[in-house]
Structure 1
Amino acid sequence: MTLTGQGEVRALEVLYNRYARAAFAFAVRIVGDPLEAEEILQEAFLRVWQQANRFQHARGSFASWLLSITHNLAIDALRRRQRRPQRADMVDFFEVLRTEIDTAVDLEEAAMVAELRQQVQAAIAQLPQRQREVLELAYFQGLTQREIAELLDEPLGTVKTRMRLGLQKLQEALQAQRPETSG
């Protein structure tokens, strides 16, 4: 990423070769259209190139950052369609990382990603089913809170409360698992 931030095209090529399959698969799972997913992939890597200097390794891995960009672009694409996405099996963000990323990833980073995946899965599993459901619908299906309320036939305030409580519980669980650092 440092080299990409310095304008090294070859560095971007290496990142693309290593992570494009994962980002493409993730986009296809969200938008359901390979052609649209290709456009999302191109836009995601354009943003990586343009915003490389904004990447902070301390906040997470490149793969997580790229998949976050891809997710945002895919959700934007769904919203532009002005149609509610079909309810499909929920996408497992970390399963995409595990199955699609090039095996040339450094072992330390792979171990950290595996540990993070386990921590997030454990934290999500601890959530009450209704809180987990609204978070999955919002994050993986791109539904707004109002759309979730209509889909689940629940009051909007109830959906908002479940989302807020679910996010708070996730944050607390993940912070409790994070080792204390000084400084």
Structure 2
Amino acid sequence: MDFEADHSPPLPTDAELFQAMQAKQHSALAALYDRYASLVYRVALRILVNPQEAEDLTQEIFLKLWRSSTYDVNRGSLSSFLTTLTRSRAIDRLRSRSSTLKFLQRWGNTMTTQPPPTTPFEAASIHQRSEHVRSALADLPEKYRQILELAYYEGLSQSEIAARLEIPLGTVKSWSRQGLLTLRKTLQTWIE
């Protein structure tokens, strides 16, 4: 039997693809994405549990790799770098989610779980707090308020908000964070 030898060129190494990507060759990024997206997604999903958030984080990791990577080919494999970066970013998201959830729970508890007022003074106090919250929301810049309302009143994810408002996901994340920080600062005296 006569077998033909496979003369296809060898696949480029991660280091070669990374160098090409640093030279802004889109095909190199595509090749690295094809090679490692499932790994990054699995790590993100294992930590975040939410498939949409895992997809968002996968995209974020590869955008970071494209834009400004701190990866050094001499310090280890690209798969290890991506795994570590994904794990770190996913844990950051969990912390942020936890912090935001605690803030909103404290805020919500202040507004909704109090027993009905029994005295005129208690009724006035609750009314005053409600007005303060409404005022704090109204004082937020429109872009921040809109994103917070979509997230917390309509329950939309950041990806869904980006799609609805037709703005980049990174912008939604940035505005959401700034809006929450501003709101938290304004309401701090009412939730402590």
Shared fold by TM > 0.5?
Answer: no
User: Could you state the TM-score of these two structures normalised by the residue count of structure 1?
Assistant: 0.43
Structure with bigger gyration radius: 2
* Structure ranking higher on relative contact order (CA contacts 8 Å, 6+ apart): 1
User: Could you state the TM-score of these two structures normalised by the residue count of structure 2?
Assistant: 0.41
